[in-house]
Structure 1
Amino acid sequence: MKILFGQGLSIFIILLALSALLLYTLWGWPNDNAWWSLLETRYAEIPLGAWIIIVLILISFSFSLNTLLKVRDQEKRIETSLRPLLEAESFIPNNKKYAYSKRLQVTTKQLEQLILTQRKTLQRITNEKAEAQDKLIQERIVQERQRLARELHDSVSQQLFAASMLLSTMVEIEESQNGEASKTLLQTEKIVQQAQLEMRALLLHLRPAALHDKTLKQGMEELLIELQQKVFFTIRYRLEEVPLPKGAEDHLFRIAQETLSNTLRHANATEVDILFVERDDLAIFRVQDNGVGFEVSDAKTGSYGLENVMERAVEIGATCKVVSVPSQGTIVEVKLPIEKNTGSPSNFAQEQIAISEEAAPQPPQGIGM
């Protein structure tokens, strides 16, 4: 309203000045003969001069109102065309309802390109920052895992080993003196040995999950050689170089750690066989032990480690199969398809026979794959 009144008043003053200038041009300087007629001449009892002022007021405010409405309409058109830019859309009105000057269209298009470019730049910067933070967090996690593993190995693990050796010596002395060791001493020795296995399983978990510059075969060989020196049971393995993506190798390495850790903690096995080979575009990883086994239906609902193995297998598009019979042993097998078109159906059949008869360790009696 203030804009309408101010603009109308300005136009009225201008028109009134132009009218006075026109009368001055026609009649000269105001005098009684000419200018007085503006008050004496009446139409509908209203002097001519008053009519002139009324007409000028109507013209002024009508023009002001029309201009204001056009400006508001143009603002609405511009707002309608620019609003999609805030919603990451591209919109330049082409119909007559929203048409405006070509110059403004060019400016709007340039503004659109600028906003989209800045939005993409901000998204890229945000993504790079998040990736850098994730990488830093992962590096710190690995460093902390390694630090904990070193401290546990140098302190608790060594103390458990010393306690185990001391108890073994005490058992031998008591057996030599009394013919047999006491049940309490034997039970204590068993508890310490089990604690050693738990500690070795924990250290296995704390190892770095990534292979870095090593292949999966190299990483698993290093893991198994180190493990052979620390456990009481026999470990046999057959490993082949299998071309896999880095992410799949890291997941399979973690699956191997998880499976061996479960074997250390729960299997009470005397023999463990590990197989990692490639057959007919499949990477096959298998861990088999002759331990106490379990009911698979019960393990699926209560085994956190087994759930981790299955979840990691699904994440890389592999299948995981667990076969276990109480008192006979357990087999965990993961099969991952690889992108390689070699071999034939006949070769595949022969190679599968080679896996079951030569390469892979035989399953415990009563266990079928």
Structure 2
Amino acid sequence: MRKGTIFLLIWYATLIVLIVLAAVFPLLNQSLWDISLWTTTEELIFTLILLILSLAFFLFIVVQSAALAATQLTRQKIRAILQNKSLRSWSDEDQLLLQLSDKVRNLTQKVQMIDNKDLVEQEEIVEAERKRIARDLHDTVSQELFATSMILSGLAANVSQVPEETLTQQLVLVKEMIETAQRDLRILHLHLRPSELDGKNLVEGFDIILKEVSDKSNMTVHFHNDIQELPKLMEEHLFRIGQEIISNTLRHAHAKQLEVYLVQNESELQLKMVDDGVGFVLGEDEEVSYGLQNIQERVEDMAGTLKIRTAPNKGVAIDIRIPLLKGKDDDENTCNVD
């Protein structure tokens, strides 16, 4: 409280006391200026008690009023802070509230910048995915259908002159190209399917996606699982990791067989996926490296480890280990590790 306010309260207290005394003494047939009144012990005691009570009542009213006014003012300032308004325009600003206001404004600006950055990054990811899908369509399905169209056009124009054996060979080739295009479209559709479990557990989610792989490709799939109930967030991470690995296998590995192991013990969970495809050299394929980076980030979010073993024409083996925490708070703690 400022000195000016204190002096003003003292002046009001003195004034109120004088007014009270001036009003009460005539009722007691006494004069405020009677010297004998102030020298008589009983009257002096009475006067002091009356003075103390009057002053105490006045100060109580004043303090309560000041506290109420200060509370309302503080609420207004806090409301202004929450509305991200600056308090520097207030003439009697408290330094702590002023610092709090500045920090809230700075924090809000940083959050907005982070949100904008995340939005831009998400848009870039979406745009990159669109370009990748367009490139996949052009490099596979579009090229295959174009080649099929050219072969059929050539056969139609010279069908009477083409030997029957050649015609049969060309038609078989067209049939194989159409089947390949159909398979590529199925693989692309599989890659674009939703990445959430949609109420299912992890084993059920893997069963569905691996059955689609088996039905829509020429790949033989073996799924071995032995797990118990897992935290939902961990299941979502592992399912999306499995989707990414399966997508890369379908698009790049040219594998005939895929083995998936999902095993749990007391201390950890293991997800291992092995194919017999063409393999690759780590770091050379940019698209594969981007997918592996996404997998690595998800594994790190769960404090796990990722090991990849591959070589040209030797297939790929991806081994993921996730530690399991014991206790009733597992669901909250397992996946919230920096």
Find the structure with the greater CA-based Rg: 1
Superposition TM-score, scaled by structure 1 size: 0.46
Superposition TM-score, scaled by structure 2 size: 0.50
